[in-house]
Amino acid sequence: MVSRDIPSLRMKLWFEKDGHNAFGMGSVLLLRGVARHGSLAGAARELGISYRTAWGSIRKIEARLGRAVLVKHGGNKSGYRLSPFGVRCLETYEAIYESALAVAQKAYAAQAALLFEEGKESL
């Protein structure tokens, strides 16, 4: 049993290419927003970022991964949907993240009580 005094485990995960973050949780949130709203503008609004920032993020993702994650649909500038590659990126990231988090949480649960309970030193 994990005590309330024991900190929670959190984790960051990203795909990296040539030493640069190519796809991480920010990318996931942006692509989920596009999938939900059918537009980059809607996704940007939901995340509280400008359209320009969102578009710049998409351009970086695509440049680093070498493939499009969005495809245009409709006639206006904000009509986008995920490309098949974008869908696979999102699904792959989410599956890996959930698996890695489950393993890390299990290991943490096994060690956390020892780490934070042993000795109970205080400041």
Q: Is the pLDDT of residue 5 over 80?
A: no
Residue 113, domain member (yes or no): no
Residue 43, domain member (yes or no): yes
- The full DSSP string for 70-121 is EEE-SSSTTBEEE-HHHHHHHHHHHHHHHHHHHHHHHHHHHHHHHHHHSS--
Q: Is the pLDDT of residue 2 over 50?
A: no
Residue 103, domain member (yes or no): no
Residue 57, domain member (yes or no): yes
Kindly report, residue by residue over 41-52, the tens digit of the pLDDT. Answer: 999 999 999 999
Residue 5, domain member (yes or no): no
* Residue 17 parent element (H or E): strand 15-17
Which of 39, 78, 36, 40 has its CA nearest to residue 58?
40
- At 7, is the pLDDT very low, low, confident or very high (cuts 50, 70, 90)? confident
Residue 109, domain member (yes or no): no
Residue 44, domain member (yes or no): yes
Kindly report, residue by residue over 64-112, the tens digit of the pLDDT. Answer: 999 999 999 876 655 899 999 999 999 999 999 999 999 999 999 889 8
Residue 20, domain member (yes or no): yes
Q: Name the β-bridge partners of 87.
A: none
Tell me the C-alpha distance between 16 and 69, whole Å.
16
Domain housing 69: 15-92
CATH number of the domain encompassing residue 59: 1.10.10.10
Q: Provide the number of structural domains found in the chain.
A: 1
